[in-house]
Structure 1
């Protein structure tokens, strides 16, 4: 098996904390058998964790023993809040340099219950606006839905949308708009077989049927695409800052930040046209455009694609950048009152979906920062 040491080390932590699932435990056991040096590391980790867990009196966040204390405290908080078994883990540690490491759940496939104040603007439901003006609430309407006077049949199941169109009834230039609200992700299969996986707070514009010499859609937010091959009809993805043209490939596009777009290519080939410049990417490459800096070509960062699998990795990320993500995850506006908190940096992996309060507990334990709501806005101080 190919060894991904970062992933295996993560599984080691989950194992010693008793939260690993059966599939991941089997993967860990296979790796330990195939790579003997990992067995030594794992045994050391078990010994250290046992020692840490016996020292709950540690309160100053300036040593390795903090790993055990913080984890133990968060486990107890979860148990006090829930009467059922917890299936996620929030693993946090802090060092004297204010670098925190945490594993925290992120993406859910279902609308969250009202646990935080939603933003005052924007739609809060999974919504499809048809070219005719008809609006379909996909959050509440499931299974088979007839639209456009019965000429189109939507199939909304398992957080995924497919559709069938009666022959010769779809008008290619009629564009529909799909909105994925904060706290959700959603999958749609287009008429040509292209799969589009949409992250939260993302808009997709697409026709029910492609005709002519091209297949064109528009994405504003973040999406992963696996484009169906069609050598005679290039697939063109429009963004607020440029276009991406492909024949058949898998790639990620991120336009969340104003004035910035990033395209990451996994396989195939894409041609990216931004600010009058054309760049052809090869597999394993990514291109980033920023209005004030121009374009930069870099190696693909696989961590940035983990959102598709319900994970999100933070790499020495300032708190002020993390709080930009919270409106997309939870639909809540965030203000940091304390400038020092804004500069704290975190590294870690966000796993399964959990209430935002788990994240706020982590921040309080590692930094002492408290949170409160005022007029529907979350403040961190």
Structure 2
């Protein structure tokens, strides 16, 4: 077969990141058999990806000793746990130790006179795809192959969505809306081969097929993209406060904070365009655009990319910042009643694997803050 190196390189990226489809996997294997020299390129790519995941800023928390202490304590707690709602024993570690915080589903403090019921969620908890015609598909319940009325075939497996469009819709560019609920992350492969990794509480507007001279999508939340190269059709990512223009690159975009956009460039080149200015980034740079202040370029902080591995790094931030993070990662409204607590600083890492109670215990350990639920709202004081 004729070798399309750009396409094969894209398939290699998908393979090492674990999101390649069965059809593309077979195509890649056929190419490797016909062109054995490609195996060295694949091996190199796998090594680079593994090395990236093993970087200290990504793999480790602040200290191996702290990690070991807290991990041992979590194992001990699991062995003692006889039922889901329990009171956890205190963790005897100095207040300066780094926190290791996990997530599965919320477990709640049961205090006298205070609600211990499941809090009222502030987000839609369903992973769903709203088609351009208004039809809503619940991807939380519909797994594997899904055939749409248009004939388009969806494949919803392993927290990833791929699709094959039929001849009737191949010439159409109608916008769909994909919503990722709190506590989840999800991948999608667009029709041009671009990979989009979506963080919690994020929406993506995209067409099943790019038909014009540009490839345009819209992100509200946070996404990490590996854009397929196509010099003839620039890729444009729209946000509420500006747009990112690329030809082929890897970058992260965060629009969680109202009036703010942050773009972090891993590889390639992008330009960020606001209403009054265009800024070109180089690999390893990030730009923060604040609607009332303009744009600032800085070095990329690798902690920003940890969410791809299901982590959120809190690095010496005021407690009040968790009122932004927890609604996205746990789907619950958070209020800090005590201003002194709100200004206290701490460092930690949230993982999407165990209860919110672990986080509340760790906050109490390091700041002395108590917490309780009332009318579906988590109060910290």
Q: Report the TM-score, using the length of structure 1 for normalisation.
A: 0.76
Contact 2:150–2:168 at 8 Å: present in 1 too? no
Distance 1:358 1:323, change over 3 A: same
Structure 1 gap ranges (5+): 20-70, 85-89
Aligned counterparts, 1:71-150, within 5 A? 72=73, 76-81=76-81, 94-95=94-95, 101-105=98-102, 112=105, 116-120=118-122, 122-147=123-148, 149-150=149-150
* CA distance 1:101–1:214, shift in 2 (3 Å): same
How many Å apart are 1:212 and its aligned residue? 1.7
Partner of 2:379: 379
Q: Which residue of 1 aligns with 2:38?
A: none
Deviation, 1:337, is 1.0
Summarize deviations over 1:222-257 as a string: whole Å, max 9, x none.
000000011111000000100001000000000000
Give the conservation status (yes or no) of the 8 Å contact 1:93–1:366.
Answer: no
User: CA RMSD of the aligned region, Å?
Assistant: 2.7
| Maintained 8 Å contact 1:223/1:252 | yes
Q: Deviations over 1:111-161 (max 9, x none)?
A: x479742424x42200100001110000000010111x1411110001110
Question: What is the alpha-carbon distance in structure 2 between the residues aligned to residue 114 and residue 150 of structure 1?
Answer: 43
Q: Between Structure 1 and Structure 2, how many residues are aligned?
A: 315
1:128-207 matched pairs, under 5 angstroms? 128-147=129-148, 149-207=149-207
Superposition pairs for residues 325-364 of structure 1, below 5 Å?
325-364=325-364
Q: Indicate whether 1:208 and 2:208 are aligned.
A: yes
Distance in 2 between the 1:114 and 1:172 partners?
A: 46
Matched, 1:218 2:218: yes
Report the alpha carbon displacement of residue 168 of structure 1 after superposing the two structures with TM.
4.1
Question: What is the alpha-carbon distance in structure 1 between the residues aligned to residue 373 and residue 107 of structure 2?
Answer: 14
Partner of 2:26: none
Matches within 5 A, 1:241-280: 241-280=241-280
Cα distance, 1:326–1:301 mapped onto 2, change above 3 Å: same
Indicate the SS of the match to 1:308: helix
Question: Structure 2: where are the runs of 5+ without partners?
Answer: 1-50, 85-89, 109-117
Q: Could you say which residue in structure 2 is the equivalent of 1:291? A: 291
